[in-house]
Structure 1
């Protein structure tokens, strides 16, 4: 049977319809997705994959503990899902905000973060795992202010240093007022005995200073001071001293109950996974053998259930995230965008490195979660919000470049240098 051959007019109509559909799809995507370049699209994609993957692994790692403690297999993953449900829209909203807004709230943000951190020492404060670093409201809601202090510091340091222009290459202008405020914020977290978070916050500050263009020799002296001050702080805690001793002496089966329980079971879990893993949900370590299986040691569960392939995939995802951050920094014209993005990169990627290094036995136990993967409401919300801020700054910076305008912080720095 002879088929009708489409006429040129019909082909043109079909082609025009396809073009209109494509353009409409691109328009909708541009309005919904917070991406403005290949680097931001890559970052957004990796973040969404890690968040989704994290939900799956939190359920796999927490199911046994959820049943044991709350008689509900979904209790932990449900809470994590709630924070993710609110966190993703929060990220999308933050990604749509203009750069000027973050400049205006930078000072108020760091003041609010410090005020919230002070509340952990009031009756509202809550202690977990020997650290007093939470605020509890009732029986169900608790927040970890230090997670939001990280973001507040990143934005505030970017705001302060971006206005200094070339003066950041001088010692005093570079560190004042950054040092006093950072010492206050980090000191409050240290008073709560959360040494792992302190390490990440110190790295964030020095990372931001480096990206801002502070001279290496101007970073070394404060870094030496921080290292010297850290020694008595570490030695003041018997539990931290034991962790360091076990790290240098090695965890053996003879010390099974003497502080090596978590490290040994983490190692055994990873080694039991082999190349392909024991299968999703089939972990043996999560049956009350491995403490913090759904948070600090979730990487061990990933390696056990998904094998070496799953573990390497996670490492590659963080490597891709690092590449996306670096691309955004290199493409940015605004020092504010560069500094804030660099600080957030050091925070998220650095924390991932520390978490994985601890699980692999390359660092003493510090008690920091795996960003975007581990269970934890505050860290999930703060990390997603930080990603939203980076996407917003990258979008504003790209728009300024397309319009042929100098970034606002560049104009302010030029004026400041002129007055000086």
Structure 2
């Protein structure tokens, strides 16, 4: 039995043990809170790192792209609401789809922008092969014919256009070939045999599906890639002549193409044509003309009331001009100019020929397609069925355009923050620039 003198000592020991246990518990709770705080801070840092770059060019391209995507979703809502209510008794069907595509495409763009340039060079030919395989699927039972063009495949309730992936795949493939042949660009056989084969197969498959508009954009991006990649101009001139010879043959192979081009060449002066082939281009011009300088107001278009076919797609620029006027149309053009300037800066400042070639191809693709679409709306080209990048309704086009811009963002992320007035030229000769050369600590590929 404990003596009276032992009791205080045991009591103090018990209190000490209890205090130690409480302190340990508090320490564990504190450690848990600190750990949760660190994990939370780590997640915040990880999200912030998606937007971290050393170059203002990165933020320029990203900002303009995001603005055009948001603007496009708004214009799709405005231009499609009437037709959606007419056929589906709801205003927001096309708007919801376009918003979903944007919510898929923008995160994909940001994820893609984290990949190093050497990843794209290493996987370029595999991506090209995958793009060709997917394009072949349009000729299987999975293929879907839309308005005479068989360039879609069915994926449950959705459709996908493999030729959009094939555009990016072809740009990457050309970039990889020119990188490997960078010391032999003067020899046309070293360049045009592999590039010509890949281009002929890719564009040939698209033309077999009847999509001449996409084939034209692919030719533009091929020439853009070769020009920026340093191929000699006289070799490019031979390619231009060859295409000029083949173009009438391709056009005459389709009766629908013949009639569209004939109507365009006639200026749509025939009253019968105005009720058929010229209906869309004529009403597109009326939409632009009725907008004036300031427009009729967002959502107040009259031509979208079943007068202008494809108002939310191929002819969305006409709705922009009608609702937002000349000022709105010029702002859209200016945004594409800023996007082009950002990509040109990537080309000028990057020391890597692969980066320059791929960026040149994406530049020719996005800006060239925008110019072709606007030229069609203005009546400068026949109707080709080419959407306005980042703005027109469409899932495959929007998502793959965002992925392609994400590739350019991955190149722009590590550009130097401050540079001189020059950069590498077309032939790869170094200009006046502070961009470090490949192989240095800051200039080596990630």
* TM-score under structure 2 length normalisation: 0.82
Residue 30 (structure 1) shift: 5.6
Partner-residue secondary structure (3-state), 1:127 = strand
CA distance in 2, matches of 1:95, 1:339: 17
CA distance in 2, matches of 1:209, 1:282: 44
CA distance in 2, matches of 1:404, 1:206: 27
2:99 to 64, 76, 81: 81
Q: Does 1:354 align with 2:387?
A: no
CA distance in 2, matches of 1:68, 1:100: 50
Query: Any conservation in 2 of the 1:333–1:407 contact (CA below 8 Å)?
Result: no
Partner-residue secondary structure (3-state), 1:169 = coil
When residues 37 and 66 of structure 1 are mapped into structure 2, their CA distance, relative to the original with a 3 A threshold, is: same
Partner-residue secondary structure (3-state), 1:133 = strand
Residue 28 (structure 1) shift: 7.6
Residue 407 (structure 1) shift: 8.3
Q: Does 1:48 align with 2:66?
A: yes
2:307 to 278, 285, 289: 289
Where do 5+ consecutive residues of structure 1 fail to align?
Answer: 1-23, 413-420
Partner of 2:213: 196
Partner of 2:260: 243
2:388 to 355, 361, 370: 370
Q: Does 1:134 align with 2:134?
A: no
CA distance in 1, matches of 2:358, 2:393: 25
Q: Which segment is superposed worse, 261-270 or 215-224?
A: 215-224
Partner of 1:15: none
Where do 5+ consecutive residues of structure 2 fail to align?
Answer: 1-41, 418-433
Aligned length: 385
Q: Which segment is superposed worse, 122-131 or 349-358?
A: 122-131
* TM-score under structure 1 length normalisation: 0.87
Residue 104 (structure 1) shift: 2.0
Partner of 2:10: none
Partner of 1:157: 174
Larger radius of gyration between Structure 1 and Structure 2: 2
Residue 92 (structure 1) shift: 0.3
Partner of 2:439: 406
Deviation per residue, 1:323-354 (Å, 9 max, x gap): 11111110111001100000000000000000
Comparing both structures, which one devotes a greater share of its residues to helix?
A: 1
When residues 215 and 251 of structure 1 are mapped into structure 2, their CA distance, relative to the original with a 3 A threshold, is: same
When residues 299 and 365 of structure 1 are mapped into structure 2, their CA distance, relative to the original with a 3 A threshold, is: same
When residues 302 and 407 of structure 1 are mapped into structure 2, their CA distance, relative to the original with a 3 A threshold, is: farther
Deviation per residue, 1:129-182 (Å, 9 max, x gap): 2110000122x1110000010001111111110122231122111213111011
Residue 35 (structure 1) shift: 3.9
